[in-house]
Structure 1
Amino acid sequence: MGKIVISENVSLDGVVQDPTGEDGLGRGSWFTCVGDGGREAWAKVEFEEALSAAALLMGRRTHEWFVARGWGSRDGAWADRLRALPKYVVSSSALDGPEWTRSTVVPAEEIPKLRQEVDGDLVVYGSGRLARTLAEHDLVDELRLMTYPVVVGAGERLFGETSAAKPMRLVDTRTVGESLVLLTYRPV
């Protein structure tokens, strides 16, 4: 049985929107506030996570974001690993534009079945709407928050209203570089 792992970059105030400043939030690139050393340490952690993943689970917009930034043709071990992983794209419509190898569209209602079929971690990158849906339906087995030392002050946050409280237990903390903190939680 698979384990659904939400892996997100978040600001101190929980913002996940527009970390690179490309999407028009108008708050700049909060992702780069940690400098080159911090981003190198972040990339190492992300690569390790990709190596341990069995598959990626993402929303259509996140899939399109990766494709638009050339992840399907980039060089390097991290890009090679992401290309090799099966990618399950949660969408109610077919994918438009260029493909990313091993991508399959799945409707949201198929996620519990997919979780049963995949042996290992199904890692969710980005995909804020999908992350909220998974949490609402108690399908999150682990939450990994790479926390950036900045209060963005506006933007889409990882979690909004839920139908009930979703208690989590902190299972690990890890300093990444000089100013990032990776917080790992599991449902109680």
Structure 2
Amino acid sequence: MGRIVMSGPQNVSLDGVVQDPDGAEGFELGGWFPRFGGEDLAEWSKIALEEALRAEAWLLGRKSYEFFGTRWRPRSGELADRINSMPKYVVSSTLDEPDWANSTVLRGEVVSEVAKLKQELDGEIVVPGSHRLGRTLIEADLVDEVRLVVFPVVLGAGERFFGEARGTKSMRLVEAATIGDGLAFLTYEFVQST
């Protein structure tokens, strides 16, 4: 049985904003990710590679699938080669022909399709970005772990990682580490109610 992990790593501002970290979407407060250069991003890249090598597959929403595909398909190197070659599952009702290697479209009802995928695969099924998909999976108790890289910037506005939650979800801190000079890497597991 697979484990669904929200990561990739999942980049958030100190106040929980995940919207437009690289500035490509045109959000007025976007572009906060590249402000942290040098050692911070070099160490971040090491974590991204470790996660990609450990992942059984990626699970993405349509927008994240297109974003990451545009970013990684033309690249090469250890991280790009791993991402391009690993199995990728994209949740979409409109994508007909996926154009990224080893991609499969999940067309049915999201929760049941992902629950079935979780039963079929072993290892980590990583959900990079795709925070809207992640919220749906969290509400359905399908996410096992969340890995956050917290950037020391407060934006004050923007789409947040958890958004409006329906009910309380308890988590347990599994690991906390510092990346570079100022990024926090936090790993949480969901505590399933019995």
Q: Which interval holds the TM-score relative to the shorter structure?
A: over 0.9
Residue 94 (structure 1) shift: 2.0
Match of 2:4, as an amino acid?
Answer: I
Match of 1:154, as an amino acid?
Answer: A
Match of 2:29 in 1: 27
Aligned residues of 1:60 and 1:95 also touching (Cα < 8 A): no
Q: Distance in 2 between matches of 1:28 and 1:128?
A: 16
Root-mean-square deviation (CA), in Å?
A: 1.2
- The 5-angstrom pairing of residues 38-187 of structure 1 reads 38-69=40-71, 71-95=72-96, 99-107=99-107, 108=110, 109-187=112-190
Residue 124 (structure 1) shift: 0.4
Match of 2:131, as an amino acid?
Answer: G
Q: Distance in 2 between matches of 1:122 and 1:17?
A: 22
Residue 73 (structure 1) shift: 2.6
Deviations 1:94-127 (A, max 9, x none): 246x711001001313100100111100000010
Q: Distance in 2 between matches of 1:139 and 1:92?
A: 20
Deviations 1:114-169 (A, max 9, x none): 00111100000010110110111111100000110100111110112222100100
TM-score calculated relative to the size of structure 2:
0.92
Match of 2:2 in 1: 2
Q: Distance in 1 between matches of 2:38 and 2:66?
A: 26
Q: Distance in 1 between matches of 2:183 and 2:120?
A: 34
Q: Distance in 2 between matches of 1:169 and 1:156?
A: 24
Q: Secondary structure at the match of 1:37?
A: helix
Residue 28 (structure 1) shift: 4.1
Q: Distance in 2 between matches of 1:10 and 1:68?
A: 21
List, as ranges, runs of 4+ consecutive aligned residues in structure 1 with deviation greater than 6 Å.
none
Residue 67 (structure 1) shift: 2.0
User: Aligned pair count?
Assistant: 186
Residue 93 (structure 1) shift: 2.0
- Could you tell me the percent identity over the aligned residues? 54
TM-score calculated relative to the size of structure 1:
0.95
Distance verdict in 2 for CA 1:95–1:157, change over 3 Å: farther
Aligned residues of 2:2 and 2:123 also touching (Cα < 8 A): yes
Match of 1:14, as an amino acid?
Answer: G
Residue 173 (structure 1) shift: 0.4
